[in-house]
Amino acid sequence: MRAASYAVPATQPDTENGECVVYFFGAGQGGGIEANIERWKGQFQSAGKPPAAKVNKKTVNTLAVTTVDMSGTYTGMGGPMAVQKTARPGYRLLGAIIEAPGGNLFVKFTGPAKTVGANQQRFEQFVASFRKN
């Protein structure tokens, strides 16, 4: 379930905004880490196939975090509500899966590559702000 959405203003010369979304499904819900990475990879194409993704694991405020970075043509999310996919070349995804006691948080930032790159530090600060209660 989408818990929060943030529009990220385009960085010149990009004309489209980026979007950062936080998903939370509850304890034991939303699928595993690898399944979500594969799902995100399936939303991109690079030379006709899913792109290679840079995946890293780290600890942030005692929480295990898996980060993902990939680029290519973004086709968006599928599913019954997505009648038609629009291919957006030159896009990038920064993702983070935060393993929290009450259930994983999924943070997904997509947009034109320059816009995402210009806001990467802000994304990393946002991910670093999560803490256990």
pLDDT top residue among 30 and 105: 105
Residue 66: CATH number of its domain: 3.40.1000.10
Residues 27-39, mean pLDDT to the nearest whole number: 90
Q: What pLDDT is recorded for position 8?
A: 96
Q: Which of 85, 82, 81 is nearest to 44 (CA)?
A: 85
Residue 32: is its pLDDT beyond 60? Answer: yes
pLDDT of residue 52: 87
Domain that holds residue 122: 2-7+18-78+86-128
Asked if the structure places residue 12 within a domain, the reply is no
% of the chain beyond a pLDDT of 90: 72
Instruction: Write down the pTM of the prediction.
Output: 0.90
